[in-house]
C-alpha cells in the first residue's frame, strides 16, 4: 500500500520486532501534494511522514534513531525477516567467538603445570614484565 491510499480505517504496521508485528490505526492523516503526515495519539504522540508514493514512513523527531512505520504488509514481513536473520548471524558470530576463546584457553592451560607460589616482591621484581 502507498501512503496516498492510506485512510483512518487502514491498519498500519506500527511495531515490528523478531517475535511480533503489531498493527494500529492512525488517529489522523494529512494528505498534501508532496507529503503525507500520519499521527498517533498515544503516550509519545508519534508523527510519521513520507512521500505519497512511499510505503514506509519515517518518524519526525529530534532523536538520532528514528522509527519506521510500514504501510505495506509485505514490507513489514521483509523487515521482520531481516531482523531475524541479523539476530541469527549475531548468534553465530557469538558461537564462533566462544569456540575461539575455548580453543585458546585449552591451548594455554590444559597441559600447563600449576604455578609455584612465590612472594609478591619476588614476582614483581623477576617475573612481571
Contacts of residue 49, defined as CB under 8 A and 6 or more positions apart, other chains included, come to 35, 36, 37, 38, 57, 58, 60
| Parallel, antiparallel or unpaired: strands 28-31 and 21-24 | unpaired
For residues 117 and 43, the model is more confident at: 117
Name the band, by pLDDT with cuts 50, 70 and 90, for residue 2: very high
Tens of pLDDT, residues 28-76: 999 999 999 999 987 778 899 999 999 999 988 766 667 899 999 999 9
The pLDDT assigned to 115 comes to 83
pLDDT tens-place string over residues 92-104: 999 999 999 999 9
Per-residue pLDDT, 129: 57
- Residue 65: what pLDDT? 64
With helix as H, strand as E and coil as C, how does the chain read? CCHHHCCCCCCEEEEECCCCEEEECCCEEEECCCCEEEECCCCCCCEEEECCCCCEEEECCCCCCCCEEECCHHHHHHHHHHHHHHHHHHHHHHHHHHHHHHHHHHHHHCCCCCCCCCCHHHHHHHHCC
Answering whether pTM is above 0.85, one says no
pLDDT at residue 62, rounded to an integer: 60
Cα–chain center distance at 89: 13
Between 3 and 116, the higher pLDDT residue? 3
Amino acid at each position: 500500500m502507498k501512503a496516498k491510499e492510506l485512510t483512518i480505517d487502514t491498519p498500519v504496521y506500527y511495531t515490528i520486532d523478531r517475535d511480533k508485528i503489531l498493527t494500529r490505526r492512525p488517529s489522523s492523516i494529512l494528505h498534501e501534494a508532496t507529503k503525507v503526515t500520519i499521527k498517533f495519539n498515544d503516550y509519545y504522540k508519534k508523527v510519521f511522514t513520507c512521500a505519497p508514493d512511499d510505503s514506509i514512513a519515517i518518524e519526525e523527531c529530534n532523536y538520532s534513531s528514528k522509527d519506521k512505520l510500514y504501510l505495506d504488509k509485505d514490507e513489514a514481513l521483509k523487515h521482520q525477516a531481516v531482523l531475524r536473520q541479523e539476530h541469527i548471524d549475531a548468534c553465530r558470530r557469538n558461537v564462533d567467538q566462544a569456540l575461539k576463546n575455548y580453543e585458546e584457553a585449552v591451548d594455554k592451560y590444559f597441559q600447563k603445570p600449576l604455578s609455584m607460589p612465590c612472594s609478591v616482591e619476588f614476582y614483581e621484581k623477576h617475573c612481571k614484565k
